[in-house]
Copies of this chain bind each other. A is one copy, B any other.
């Protein structure tokens, strides 16, 4: 234990700032999304499409409102990318069974395939990093990341796929 750091007029109560981890998070996340970015480019898609496709694939059958809630973007921002994904046959919208105003979103086979292709390099990067770091306690990493999320939003983090597969799914005409 160090004999109490040199007294100085710090921000707040002379609290040390963890610049190292702040910076590492920046670099790590940037490279983490660079993998799918390259793939998306060749499809004419961007990160926004990735996010939408990811969550539609992970939580098939979620409604537009739920998706907006998870992504925390506005309806208008979603509209453009969602429309493109639907038009190009990666996502289908089916009328909600109980509430016919709702549109449940499902990935098509094509959508699932792309979602997988995008996730694969990310997953590999994570796996390789865990191994390289000799991080034997994977659960601890998961707990840490979960704890980084705002408490109010942790519900979303814990609810993966919600339901089954829709009836008509094969392809989309609209």
Report the count of interface residues on A (CB-CB < 8 A): 60
* Docked CA distance A29–B12 (Å): 24
A146 contacts B by Cβ under 8 Å: yes
Nearest residue, chain B, Cβ from A113:
B11
A58 contacts B by Cβ under 8 Å: yes
Q: Please indicate the chain B residues that have their CB under 8 angstroms from the CB of A29 in the complex.
A: 25, 29
A119 contacts B by Cβ under 8 Å: yes
* Docked CA distance A138–B1 (Å): 16
* Docked CA distance A160–B23 (Å): 10
Binding site for B on A (CB under 8 A): 11-12, 15-32, 34, 51, 54, 58, 72, 113, 116-117, 119-120, 122-130, 132-137, 140-150, 153, 156-157, 160
